[in-house]
Amino acid sequence: MCGRYASSRKPEDLVEEFEVVDNRLAAPLAPDYNVAPTKEVYAVVQRPPSSESDEPAQRQLRALRWGLVPSWAKDPAIGNRMINARMETVADKPAFKRPFAKRRCLLPADGYFEWYPTQVTGKNGKPLKQPFFIRPADGGVLAMAGLYEIWRDPTRSEDDPARFLWTCTVLTTQAEDAVGHIHDRMPLMVERDRRAAWLDPTTSDRDQLLELLVPAAPGQLEAYPVATLVNNVRNNGPELLEPLPVEESLV
């Protein structure tokens, strides 16, 4: 599962990193060191200029809400449960099958958080969990594989600019050995040379798409313990990413 991550890059840096040609942001998002479900997040998508145009699809930077709402949903609250899509079933699940075929995206991140249950017991008798921050070892941007969907709000009029809700989900897979001891799932990353193929809306072959998704290569990610401040989503600052001294860690 990927339920929290950090995203502090500036839009102009993401435009350069992902070769975006159409910045669709109304305003930049504030740096977020504790991204949680239902928040607005950066997403890179590839969209045709219009349904009638013969122009090729353009790579765009947009702000989407984390938690995918299927186009057929009656209640957008379903998105609260759709923050992750498992690679093993994404091509078959009703909520993800259509966006997997047509609406794939990249979700830029500095890294993501996972919690490791320790042998230290809390007041409730349950093991305390030590949060870890997992990021690219080279300090680069983590390009998480994602899906997006566009939900039409039936309660809004045709001329209401807010009638369409854009949402997204993070694809996950079995964790590689270096971080698998922390949690058994991890977000899928899209390598630089595979980004164009992953975003291409004209590609819909199931097997071809699944072949683009591979776990992080050994040594590509690093993980270190951080303070339990991240447990509370109201805490949000660069201090959440600071490595915790060994003597203060629960593990």
Which residues are designated catalytic?
2, 114
Question: 67: Cβ–Cβ under 8 A, 6 or more apart, which residues?
Answer: 37, 38, 79, 80, 81, 82, 83, 167, 168, 169
Q: Are 201 and 46 in contact (CB under 8 A)?
A: yes
CA atoms within 13 A on the CB side of 91: 11
Cα-atom radius of gyration of the chain, to the nearest Å? Answer: 18
Question: 44: Cβ–Cβ under 8 A, 6 or more apart, which residues?
Answer: 14, 18, 20, 59, 60, 61, 62, 105, 106, 107, 108, 199
- Tokens representing 242 are 């600071």
Tell me how far apart the alpha carbons of residues 41 and 29 are, in angstroms, rounded to a whole number: 8
Q: Cα-Cα-Cα-Cα dihedral of 88, 93, 98, 100, to 10°?
A: -20
Tell me how far apart the alpha carbons of residues 226 and 101 are, in angstroms, rounded to a whole number: 37
Q: Are 188 and 171 in contact (CB under 8 A)?
A: yes
Tell me how far apart the alpha carbons of residues 90 and 132 are, in angstroms, rounded to a whole number: 27
CA nearest neighbour of 191 among 39, 9, 18: 18
- Tokens representing 8 are 């502090």
